Structure 1
Amino acid sequence: MIPVTSFAGKTVAVFGLGGSGLASCHALQAGGAEVIACDDSIDRMVEATQAGFITADLRTVAWGSFAALILTPGVPLTHPAPHWTVVAAKAAGVEVIGDIELFCRERKLHAPDAPFVAITGTNGKSTTTALVAHLMREAGFDTQMGGNIGTAILSLEPPARGRVHVIEMSSYQIDLTPSLDPSVGILLNVTPDHIDRHGTLAHYAAVKERLVAGVQAGGTAIIGVDDDWCSKSADRIEQSGKRVVRVSVEHPLADGLTIRGSTIVRNADGAQSDVVDISGIGSLRGLHNAQNAACASAAALALGVSPAVLQKGLRSFPGLAHRMEQVGRQGATLFVNDSKGTNADAAAKALSSFNDIFWIAGGKQKEGGIMSLAEFFPRIRGAYLIGEAANDFAQTLDGKVPYEISVSLDVAVANAARDAAEAGLAEPVVLLSPACASFDQFRNFEIRGDRFRELVLALDGVRAV
């Protein structure tokens, strides 16, 4: 745990008592603050009371006594309308911040030179976060990983010289971290997302940019420049005097990291030099993972990891569950769990990574359907459609891709495995990348992916990868 000493002797309100909220309560109390905790859920209020915290309905208290409101990132700060706690705090002149802001203040007070890597982007941030943490561990660093990837940041060990914190940040978390100042900041990409919480794409992109714009003096901003929003961000941040490393997997760069075949190369002063080779690394398959690997490599190099250790670390990276996860093989057939592919853009990255695909898709459909995936249809040997979206997806695929409406995941896995085995292809791939949310049949994408894994490993002759 990281005791929050910056509010010692003061009273702090905490709204939202999930994992990060309760961690904030414990950290503030350990640092000498008095905590008043609140949540819309009575069960969470009871849990906080049982944990020894003072709980109260914040509608009934005097806000002038609070030094700050610590807000869970799941609660609207600005759009579609500020949460009532935000309105009350601003009316009383009380600052509204999040748990990562508390971390930043503790780091500045006690260990300002401690390495701090912050990662954001619309897509790929969890894989990149896990990869950076893996590389730093392989290099012998005491590595703490958390934030949006799962572990609340204040539940980690405190900042210290030689201890690196690798933190995934959502746009909601960035919005609540006004003094965000990583030693290395990574912005992977910006595509339309979370507009309901930010109002416009321009505001969403501006929030994302703050993570790399805030890198501390002498630090490094690593920016994927394959979209216009991030390309302009890189230009602005460089003009402000910060060190910027640009990364592209789609375009040549005069200065920055690019991809040549399966090699990440550094471009500088008109010359190229090899950095690392990512060929044959199953957990980093696909152009999107090449970007993740290049950005993670740039971060590790900025923190002093040698190219040899970097190469070894990339080759031993196991990947993340449900994100292009290689589950098993049955003869020549590879089974891949990409249950995190919950929209067409994410599914496109998976479909672009293979050739002979037996595609399991469907679930609770998102706006836009799968028409945008048409360029990948020639790669698909058969589609096995499940959930609410099955009929709509069938209409899109009709006459273009052979398909069946499997309805359920167990039928889809069995039939896709049968057809892949009978196809006589060199390396057929049974790919779960649903392009849909899971909520019609599964509580979340993790449960859907776990079920896929169970079904695959139960097939005759399957060996785990």
Structure 2
Amino acid sequence: MTPATTFAGRKVALFGLGGSGLATSLSLQAGGAQVIACDDNPASMARAQERGIATADLRGADWSGFSALILAPGVPLTHPAPHWTVDLAKAAGIEIIGDVELFCRERAKTAPEAPFVAITGTNGKSTTTALIAHILAQAGRDVQMGGNIGTAILSLEPPSADRVHVIELSSFQIDLTPSLAPSIGVLLNITPDHLDRHGTMENYAAIKERLIQGSALAVIGVDDEPSRTIAARHMGPLVRVGVATQDADGLTVRDATVRGRSGEAIADVFGIGSLRGAHNWQNAAIAIAVAQALDVTEAQSDAGLRTFPGLPHRMEEVGRRGRVLFVNDSKATNADSTEKALTAFHDVHWILGGKPKEGGIEMLEPLFGRVAHAYLIGAASDAFAQTLAGKVAHTRCGTLDVATHEAAKAAALSDAPEPVVLLSPACASYDQFKSFEDRGDQFRALVRGLT
């Protein structure tokens, strides 16, 4: 745990008692603050009480006694409307911050030179965060990984000069971190997402840019226009990384080879199953740029790349049956993510569908030629069938178990060298599953059960 000592002796309100909220409450208490916590879910309030955290209905609290509101990142700050605690905090004239801000203040107070790598972007954050942490760990560094990727930042060990924190940050977390100033800030890409929480694409991009503005060194993927624009106006030290975009001032990737500013090959990711596809080539190049900045050798980076196991539900190879490869990309909850997966394969038996996102799968039409057959599940089946009509052979399967068996059967009859059964739904999971993790876990189990 990292005790949050910057509110020692003061009283703070906290709303949101999920995993990060509990960790934040305990961190604040360990640092000497008095915490009054609240959640809309009575069960969450009860769990907090069991952990020794004081709880109360903040609607009736005396807000003049609070020094700050610590808000969980999932709670609306501005859009579609501020949460009621936000209105109360603003009326009381107190700051509204999140757990990452507490970490940043603790780092600034106790170990301002501690290495801190912060990663954001619309897609690829978790893979890149895990890859950077893996390379550093393989190089013998003391690494703490967390944030949006799973482990709450204040549950990690405290910052120190010989310990590297590698932290994934969502736009929600950045929005609650006014003093964000990492040693290395990474921006992977920006495509439309979470506009219900940020109002406009411009607001969303501006929040992402804040991570870069405060960084001692910025590493920016320049394959999309918003990120290129941010890179062009950035005034500090910068490494640009491009796959589709060649940039003489940064790293570029062609045919799975990462090349430096002088065109020299510095890494080859061809054949690494956990880093398939051009998007993962970019992730690898960005990880190499970060590793270089932290004095990791080329040989150490290469060893880290080749031993990287990948992450569950993100282009995860979950099995083979003869020539047929089964890939779990359940994390692809929008068409932009699925585009990355389709680009990585040919002769794809594509399982897709679920709770549809705005725009559907129309943007994927240029890749339909890679699809041997599509297997539709969930609420999006009718809409997706209309998009695929006359372009891709498809079957309405309804459920994932039917789709997996039908796809496996057809792929086994393919003449292709390596037919692929790909779960990349381009949809949210909530119509039939608890989460994208639940969807991916069920797919993995179905593949293992195939005969």
TM superposition score category, shorter chain reference: over 0.9
Q: Work out whether 1:395 is the aligned partner of 2:389.
A: no
Q: Work out whether 1:410 is the aligned partner of 2:410.
A: no
Matches of 1:371 and 1:190, distance apart in 2:
19
Shifted more, 33-42 versus 174-183: the winner is: 33-42
Matched residue, 2:124: 124
Q: Work out whether 1:266 is the aligned partner of 2:239.
A: no
**Match 1:223 to one of 199, 205, 220:** 220
Matches of 2:381 and 2:231, distance apart in 1:
41
Pairs within 5 Å for 1:228-307: 228-238=225-235, 242-267=236-261, 271-307=262-298
Structure 1 position 235, deviation (Å) = 2.1
Matched residue, 2:422: 431
Matches of 2:196 and 2:427, distance apart in 1:
19
1:431 partner SS? strand
1:54 partner SS? coil
Matches of 1:12 and 1:389, distance apart in 2:
44
1:151 aligned partner, one-letter code: T
Structure 1 position 386, deviation (Å) = 1.2
Matches of 1:400 and 1:232, distance apart in 2:
36
Structure 1 position 136, deviation (Å) = 0.8
Structure 1 position 290, deviation (Å) = 1.0
Matches of 1:417 and 1:342, distance apart in 2:
22
Matched residue, 2:315: 324
Answer yes or no: is the 8 Å Cα contact 2:256–2:278 preserved in 1.
Answer: no
Answer yes or no: is the 8 Å Cα contact 2:100–2:177 preserved in 1.
Answer: yes
Query: What value does the CA root-mean-square deviation take over the aligned residues?
Result: 1.0
User: Size of the alignment, in residue pairs?
Assistant: 451
**Match 1:312 to one of 294, 303, 316:** 303
Structure 1 position 12, deviation (Å) = 1.0
- Unaligned residue ranges in structure 2 (runs of 5+): none
Matches of 1:338 and 1:237, distance apart in 2:
34
Instruction: State TM-score, norm by structure 2.
Output: 0.98
Matched residue, 1:463: none
Matches of 1:384 and 1:53, distance apart in 2:
48
Matches of 2:360 and 2:96, distance apart in 1:
38
**Match 1:351 to one of 339, 342, 351:** 342
* Moved beyond 2 Å, runs of 4+: none
Structure 1 position 260, deviation (Å) = 2.4
Matches of 2:414 and 2:44, distance apart in 1:
53
1:272 partner SS? coil
1:35 partner SS? strand
Structure 1 position 50, deviation (Å) = 2.0
- Unaligned residue ranges in structure 1 (runs of 5+): 461-465
Matches of 1:77 and 1:363, distance apart in 2:
28
Matches of 1:78 and 1:371, distance apart in 2:
30
Structure 1 position 424, deviation (Å) = 1.9
2:264 partner SS? strand
Matched residue, 1:337: 328
Matched residue, 2:441: 450
User: How big is each residue's C-alpha offset from its partner over 1:210-255, in whole Å with a ceiling of 9 and x where there is no partner?
Assistant: 001101xxx31001111221112112222xxx10001111121121
Matches of 2:80 and 2:431, distance apart in 1:
26
Q: Work out whether 1:147 is the aligned partner of 2:147.
A: yes
Matches of 1:427 and 1:54, distance apart in 2:
57
Matches of 2:91 and 2:432, distance apart in 1:
44
Instruction: State TM-score, norm by structure 1.
Output: 0.95
Matches of 1:34 and 1:402, distance apart in 2:
61
Structure 1 position 273, deviation (Å) = 1.8
Q: Work out whether 1:57 is the aligned partner of 2:57.
A: yes
Matches of 1:56 and 1:423, distance apart in 2:
62
Structure 1 position 373, deviation (Å) = 1.1
2:243 aligned partner, one-letter code: V
Matches of 2:404 and 2:49, distance apart in 1:
46
User: How big is each residue's C-alpha offset from its partner over 1:173-229, in whole Å with a ceiling of 9 and x where there is no partner?
Assistant: 0010000010011001111111111111111100000001101xxx31001111221
Answer yes or no: is the 8 Å Cα contact 2:73–2:173 preserved in 1.
Answer: yes
* Residue identity (%): 63
Shifted more, 318-327 versus 377-386: the winner is: 377-386
1:115 aligned partner, one-letter code: P
User: How big is each residue's C-alpha offset from its partner over 1:117-136, in whole Å with a ceiling of 9 and x where there is no partner?
Assistant: 00000111011111111111
Matched residue, 1:13: 13
Matches of 2:343 and 2:36, distance apart in 1:
50
